[in-house]
Amino acid sequence: MTSVAGNAAPEPSDAPPLDRASNRAPGKGADRAGAPVEAGPEAAADTADAIEVLGLVAALEHQAFTRLAGDSAQAPDLEQALALSRFAACCTERRDRVLARVADLGGDPVVALGRFGDVLDDFDARTTPSSWSERLLKAYVGYGVADDFCRLVARGLDPESRVLVAELLEDASHAELAVRELDAVCAQDTVVSARLALWGRRLVGEALGVVQRLVQRPGVARVLDRADVGTAPAGTAPEQETPATVFNELTAQHTRRMSRLHLTA
């Protein structure tokens, strides 16, 4: 019966109350009896993999902060020192945004970051620069490969995480400084230019080795598989082989970077 002007009391109904928890994120709702609704095992695994990849991105930003602060201290002039110190500060902001997303997903930011604390140690040990130009090229080329890989693997993340990573990696201000300084050096000295071309080849080889080790991590491999960057041979577990298209894309990006410096990749 319809109530008129609110004077008639509504008839009792046997229908269950509306479930307001239905708008909550998966795994955070409640059923009609008030019991928590747990996310399915597949969704939980996807979230854990996303936290793994976000931990990698955050770790790279954290290490970039340390590296750029060191570069600032060794810069040949005050202008570059100031610019590098500002870039270092930006790295901490980007790192903290990624770690905030880790927390949103229910992960522990410190643990996620710590999983990749030594991700570049071997690369750094094998590629010690002997000049300021080599140091700049290492940051531009070597660490650029790591950023490119993060862009690729981020395609397999949930939409919010994917957009966040893509946005953070758009900042090319440090790359522009490296290109400007290196281009000036190469234009003045062909011997230095040839030496830097060889250095660039060594850097990309070592950087691709880092990528190969990263995709041995099951969580990273699964996200990369969802990114649909390439297809491994039938029957091959994702963590056992990196699709050739991954290396093709990373190598193509490296070639474009070197071309900006008029150096042979």
pLDDT at 109: 98
Nearest Cα residue to 242 out of 224, 254, 260: 224
- Euclidean distance between CA atoms 174 and 87, whole angstroms: 7
CATH 1.20.1260.10 fits 44-260, yes or no: yes
Question: Which of the residues in the chain have pLDDT under 70?
Answer: 1-39, 229-243
pLDDT single digits (tens) 64-84: 999 999 999 999 999 999 999
Q: What is the pLDDT of residue 43?
A: 84
Count other Cβ atoms within 10 Å, centred on residue 19: 13
Give pLDDT, residue 245. 84
| Bridge partner residues of 172 (DSSP) | none
Domain-wise residue ranges, the chain? 44-260
Q: How far apart are CA 38 and CA 22, in angstroms?
A: 13
Using alpha carbons only, how large is the chain's radius of gyration in Å? 25
Helices (H) and strands (E) in the chain, counts: 11, 2
